[in-house]
Amino acid sequence: MPERPPERIRNVALTGPSGAGKTTLAEALLAAAGAVAVAGSVEKGSTVSDSSAQEKALQHSVSASVLGVEWRKTWINLVDTPGLADFQGAALSILPAVETVAVVVSAGRGIEASARRMMQWAGERGLCRLIVVNQIDAEPAALPALLEEIRATFGAECLPLNLPSQGARAVADCFFTPAGEADFSSVAETHEMLVDQVVELDEELMALYLEQGEELDPAQLHDPFEAALRDGHLVPVCFTSATSGAGVRELLDVFTRLMPNPLEGNPPPFLRDDGQGIREYRARPDPDAHVLAHVVKIEHDPFLGKMAVFRVHQGIVTRDTRLFAGEARKPFRVGTLFRLQGGEHLDAERLGPGEIGALTKVDEVTFDSVLHDSHDEDHIHLRPVALPAPVFGLAIQASRHGDEQKLWEALARMVEEDRGLEVEQDATTQEIVLRGLGELHLRTALERLRERFRLEVETSTPSIAYRESIGAPAEGHCRHKKQTGGAGQFGEVFLRVEPLPRGAGFEFVDTIRGGVIPGSLLPAVEKGVRQAMASGAVAGYPLQDIRVTVHDGKTHPVDSKEIAFVIAGRKAFLDAVRKASPVVLEPVAELVVEGPSSAMGDLTADLAASRGRIQDTSNHGDQVSIQAVVPLAEIADYSNRLNALTGGAGSYSLQFSHYEPAPEPVQRRLMQAYRPTEEE
């Protein structure tokens, strides 16, 4: 049996914007539960979760950190996630490990763009959501309006479980023992609203509630409360101050008494390919079942080697357990097993359903791997997390001759650890491009290269991640015939290309009839198409949002080989694309700018001059927040411009939004500069 049964486990991620106090709140929760003697300080670099030298220097979380705390005989895994948009990949990639996402909002700064995104993402993923209004003692007068803003933004299902009291020095419970006085609103009325919301989903309880004409016991409300959380019918709101301690112990009570355990949360979205198609697979948090675990993070520890952080969904993982990673045919043996406490690794003998832990020295394991102990689970995977696209780029090269291989190995490790990073090499120029989610993201990546890998690199102007697509359907054809004296090559392919909606990716469709191209050769056609998509057709950039339908072809009984159909597929695709109104797409980013209200006119004028489209503006005291979408090519030097416009008092965050056609002059310039290879 597991040391911690699943009904005694809670997995909660603290998410939300930078500056909302997530790490400080995590420290306050650890201190309140007695896990640390004194809460650490972000400013002093003494927190449990921000354990790396980089995080201490930045005074911001860079990666997600797992913290454990015991409260009222219940084990709570707190996952402290980064709030800066540059590190959102690290925040999103670990969330499949939890049942509950707690979005932390600053009382003084209100609802920021990243809080909206996280609420939307968690809702789409089926995770239970909780809003924590932190720093309530800093802006007590703003709290009534903020609660109204929360309900207006996220829905009337957002209801407070407690309310500030005693001038925001404490909180008044509105659910368990609703008897106190609050600074605003009514505890009794709020309690009634909560009960009404919860019993709406349970007809029997609703009838009992109406018949009794009196309060229901909290125990009677537990199951319908969980159902309301799972359905998104209720999003609780809690008030805290991590610095004064107001509401911190009450938040621990909310986690243990009201948030779902692994038996109660929505089941993780596993999918299984059984040969007849892909179907949903329901993991059972049963310690006696086959092991099923999911890797949510990879780290490279200088002493322990490669370490995989994972969540157990069913079965028990022990030392010496033999596990398979995904569809690997050969198992590996679990040697070392840990629980995590920030940067500290605590030895564990066994981990059961609902637990989060780590194992080391596992070269076979990658991010998103499903670990299992039976070949019956070979084809099970978790529905992938939609991570933000890394479009902010730097061309890099090793400063010292001979460090090229070392640079590639270091970059491969960094990309494995950080899902917001991406490395590509231009096939024509051989330029290595490191892409990330923003300027700060890339700067910290370069620091890691220097500090961890002792590598010095030279950088050049950021490359823009242009893409290609098509604007109309078209037909393509290639007859590849080559005779060299011996066995020849022959392959003929007819195909059709059609545009797909932006962001749809790529579809390959086979409508061959009569076996004119044998099924064994169709993968070669697709391989040729994918090669052409990767290298570009009209400007040298990867293609996307295209459906390719192969509908005819010819073979030769002797000369039709795989290589012939790879070449024919590639050239037929290029032929079709060049007839299909090809277009160059440019990446467009969602930009959130914050600065003094006095600079608003200059900021909006600058964005307009950069082809930006303003989506929303809001004021918070003497500060203004502007949301806009802007082509990435126009904001490569935005930090310098922002400093000049605001006197250094502005800040911004950037996140990829979508691709759209570049202006005609830009398309023409890129197409004219392209020099296809002789083969193309």
pLDDT one-digit tens code per residue, 40-56: 888 998 999 988 888 88
Domain shared by 569 and 526, yes or no:
yes
CA end-to-end span of the chain: 62
CB of 119 closer than 8 Å to CB of 129: yes
Q: Which one, of 217, 300, 313, lies nearest residue 265 by Cα? A: 313
Q: Is the pLDDT of residue 667 over 60?
A: yes
Q: How far apart are CA 118 and CA 235, in angstroms?
A: 13
Domain shared by 219 and 296, yes or no:
no
Domain shared by 566 and 625, yes or no:
no
Q: What is the mean pLDDT of residues 444-449?
A: 92
- Collect all residues with Cβ–Cβ distance below 8 Å to 96 and sequence separation of at least 6: 125, 268, 294, 296, 311, 382, 385
pLDDT digits (tens, 9 = 90+) for 459-513: 987 678 899 999 999 999 999 988 766 678 899 999 999 999 988 889 999 998 8
Task: Say if 430 falls within a structural domain.
Answer: yes
Q: Compute CA distances 524 → 97, 519, 530, whole Å.
A: 38, 10, 10
Tally the residues of the chain: 680
pLDDT at 462: 67
Domain harbouring 197, CATH code: 3.40.50.300
Task: Say if 263 falls within a structural domain.
Answer: no
Percent of the chain with pLDDT over 90: 59
Domain shared by 127 and 221, yes or no:
yes
pLDDT at 429: 61
The number of distinct structural domains making up the chain is 5
Q: How far apart are CA 138 and CA 20, in angstroms?
A: 12
Task: Say if 30 falls within a structural domain.
Answer: yes
Instruction: Give the domain-ending residue among 233, 258, 283.
Output: 258
Percent of the chain with pLDDT over 70: 97
Domain shared by 14 and 163, yes or no:
yes
Q: Is the pLDDT of residue 239 over 90?
A: yes
Instruction: Give the domain-ending residue among 216, 232, 258.
Output: 258
Q: What is the mean pLDDT of residues 277-285?
A: 87
pLDDT at 76: 97
Q: Report CA 70 to chain centroid distance, whole Å.
A: 28
Q: How far apart are CA 286 and CA 309, in angstroms?
A: 20
pLDDT digits (tens, 9 = 90+) for 177-195: 888 899 999 999 999 899 8
Higher confidence at residue 642 or residue 582?
Answer: 582
pLDDT band at 137 (very low <50, low <70, confident <90, very high): very high
CB of 69 closer than 8 Å to CB of 33: yes
pLDDT at 426: 66
Task: Say if 674 falls within a structural domain.
Answer: no
Domain harbouring 663, CATH code: 3.30.70.240
- Mean pLDDT in the chain? 89
- Collect all residues with Cβ–Cβ distance below 8 Å to 167 and sequence separation of at least 6: 140, 183
pLDDT band at 214 (very low <50, low <70, confident <90, very high): low
Task: Say if 148 falls within a structural domain.
Answer: yes
Higher confidence at residue 84 or residue 11?
Answer: 11
Q: Is the pLDDT of residue 165 over 70?
A: yes
pLDDT digits (tens, 9 = 90+) for 288-321: 999 999 999 999 887 888 999 999 999 999 998 9
- Collect all residues with Cβ–Cβ distance below 8 Å to 240 and sequence separation of at least 6: 25, 28, 132, 133, 134, 136, 171, 246, 247, 248, 250, 251
Domain shared by 135 and 77, yes or no:
yes
The residue type of 450 is R
pLDDT digits (tens, 9 = 90+) for 551-571: 999 988 878 888 999 999 999
Domain shared by 198 and 287, yes or no:
no
Task: Say if 673 falls within a structural domain.
Answer: no
Task: Say if 135 falls within a structural domain.
Answer: yes
Q: How far apart are CA 166 and CA 174, in angstroms?
A: 15
Domain shared by 356 and 406, yes or no:
no
Domain hosting residue 549, numbered range:
467-580
Domain shared by 82 and 138, yes or no:
yes
Phi, psi of 661 (to 5 degrees): -55, 135
Q: What is the mean pLDDT of residues 206-224?
A: 75
pLDDT at 557: 83
pLDDT band at 273 (very low <50, low <70, confident <90, very high): confident
Strands 74-80 and 65-71: antiparallel
What DSSP string describes 291-312? PEEEEEEEEEETTTEEEEEEEE
Q: Which one, of 635, 648, 654, 655, lies nearest residue 595 by Cα? A: 648
| Residue located via tokens 């007819």 | 494
Domain shared by 154 and 79, yes or no:
yes
pLDDT at 623: 79
Q: Is the pLDDT of residue 347 over 90?
A: yes
Instruction: Give the domain-ending residue among 531, 555, 580.
Output: 580
Domain harbouring 522, CATH code: 3.30.230.10
Domain shared by 161 and 17, yes or no:
yes
Three-state DSSP class for residue 175:
coil
Task: Say if 355 falls within a structural domain.
Answer: yes
- Collect all residues with Cβ–Cβ distance below 8 Å to 571 and sequence separation of at least 6: 478, 480, 528, 532, 680
Domain shared by 125 and 138, yes or no:
yes
| Run of H or E residues at 574 | helix 562-579
pLDDT at 163: 97
pLDDT digits (tens, 9 = 90+) for 611-625: 999 998 888 767 788
Q: Is the pLDDT of residue 1 over 90?
A: no
Domain harbouring 372, CATH code: 2.40.30.10
